[in-house]
Amino acid sequence: MSDLSSQALCIVTGGSLGIGAAICQRFSQQGWQVINIDLLKPHQTDNNIEWRSCDMTDTKQIKAVFASILQDYGRVDALISNAGIHYSGTIEQTSDEDFDKVFNLNVKGAITATRAVLPLMKTQCKGVILYMASDQALIAKRNSFAYNLSKMALASLAKTTALDYASYQIRANAICPGTIETPLYHQAIDRYVTKSGADKQQVHAEEAALQPLGRLGQADEVAALAYFLASDEASFITGSLQVIDGGYTTQ
């Protein structure tokens, strides 16, 4: 077992880019040992952040990597289930294969990770599980059938887990970001611009204007919320949907 076993441990799935990377950095800066589970190797290195490769759609791989982490560290204080993909399309435009890709990562991966940490959290009588949902856990958006459904599923997962494991002092919440400026956001804008011929700067400005606060959110802001929810300062918050969307869903 690692000599870091007395250090608070946070496991982040999909922690190599965007919101996930910002979360890893925030927890590391606060002195936590962080395990980033992601197929993509992170660009930045940090002594408190350990990367372990895993396909979060492969149940066997997930079980194996989590078993290894728990064996090495002997504890888990927080799981942040962040790994996910976006897919645009109506119900007619979404094939069974594409639907399965979205749900296998966004939902089944989160379920398998949760099952992996619950036994130890129950033994500890303490733990925090955060699911990275979306503003689409509260509202619908056009051309977002599979993604919308997956994020609503994560909201439900947070609520049922919170109720089922409250007696063990395990808290579960869903974070619901709106439009956050990340590499994936820019990739989506680039795909749209390539397809439509629109001006990228104009599209970016239009996206910002849709937000009541007049700007896009930043990954660091989501990371700050995640850290608060994992801290003892949020010890009475469980089963909630924590919206961070610049006011978009209040319209």
Can you give the pLDDT at residue 2? 41
Q: For residues 243 and 251, what is the distance between their CA atoms, to the nearest angstrom?
A: 13
The pTM for the full model equals 0.95
Q: What is the mean pLDDT of each run of 10 residues along the chain (251 residues)?
A: 67 98 98 98 92 98 98 98 95 98 98 98 98 98 96 98 98 98 89 90 94 98 98 98 98 94
Phi-psi region of 246 (alpha: psi -120 to 50; beta: other; left: phi over 0): left
CA distance readout (Å), 210 to 156, 216, 245: 27, 9, 11
Can you give the pLDDT at residue 1? 38
Residues 6+ apart with CB under 8 A from 89: 98, 143, 144, 145, 146
Phi-psi region of 86 (alpha: psi -120 to 50; beta: other; left: phi over 0): beta
Pick the CATH number of 9-180+218-250 from 1.10.10.60, 3.40.50.720, 3.40.50.1370, 3.30.70.360: 3.40.50.720
Residue 79 bridge partners (DSSP): 11, 129
Can you give the pLDDT at residue 4? 45
**Tokens read off for 215:** 């700007």
Please pick, among 147, 165, 185, 248, the residue that the annotation labels catalytic. Answer: 147
165 is catalytic: no
Phi-psi region of 227 (alpha: psi -120 to 50; beta: other; left: phi over 0): alpha
Can you give the pLDDT at residue 64? 98
Q: For residues 185 and 189, what is the distance between their CA atoms, to the nearest angstrom?
A: 6
Sign of CA dihedral 51, 53, 59, 65: negative
Domain locations in the chain as residue ranges: 9-180+218-250
Can you give the pLDDT at residue 3? 43
CA distance readout (Å), 13 to 4, 106, 139, 195, 215: 20, 11, 25, 31, 27
